[in-house]
Amino acid sequence: MKEKDGCYTYPPTRGVHSLPGQEFVGKCLYYQSTLNPQSFTDHKINCSSLWESFRDAVAFQSPCHVDSRRFDKFCNESKHHVPKNKFVLWEHAYETVMRYSNRGKRDFTFADTLTGFLGDTNFCGSNSSSDGVEQDRSKCPGWDQTPECPWSTGAAFWLTASEYYSRAAHGEVEIMLNATSVPFFTNES
C-alpha cells in the first residue's frame, strides 16, 4: 500500500476482477493496515480469500430471498480479536454509539470490526454478471425487510454477522438503547 496525495493505492489483487471485489479487498487491506492494525499484529487475514467467501454467500442469489446462514463461512473467516470489556451492543442509537466507540479506539461496536466494516456497503447477487455479484449496487435493496423484500442480502448479512459478534462478546458488555424509540428494543434485536 502506498500513499500519494493523501490517497492510498493498493497492489493489484490476484483473481479479483470485479469492481465490487476490488473495492472489498481494498477496504479489507485498509482496515487491517490503518484503522485497526493492532488486531492483526500476529497474522493478517487474506483479503482475496475473504472476498471469495463473501462473494460465494452473495453470488447468483435473489436480492430479496437470501438465507442468512450463507454468511457463516465469511463471518468465521473475518473475525478477529476484540479486547475483553470493549464490546458495545446497541439498538436505535447508531450516531451516538459511533461517536462513543470512536472507531474502536474506545470500544468496539459491530461496525468497528472487520466483519462490520466490510459489510457496511450495499450489495446483492445477480444472474447477469460473470461473478454473480451485482455491479450496479444502486439496484440492490437496502437492509430493511419489507413485504416485497423479506430477506434482502443486507438483512441476511447483518442478522448472521450480528449473531457472531454478540456470541463473541466477553467481559463487561455495554448496551446502549434509545429510550425515545417505541419500543426501544424488540425480541428480534
CATH number of the domain residue 71 falls in: 1.20.82.10
In tens, the pLDDT along 53-98 reads 999 999 999 999 999 999 999 999 999 999 999 999 988 888 998 8
Residues spanned by the domain of 109: 2-177
End-to-end CA distance of the chain: 38
Cell of 105: 479506539
Residue 186 lies in a domain: no
Residue 187 lies in a domain: no
pLDDT-above-90 percentage for the chain: 62
Cell of 22: 476490488
In tens, the pLDDT along 118-151 reads 998 889 999 999 899 999 989 999 888 889 999 9
Is 45 in contact with 28 (CB distance < 8 Å)? Answer: yes
Number of domains present in the structure of the chain: 1
Residue 112 lies in a domain: yes
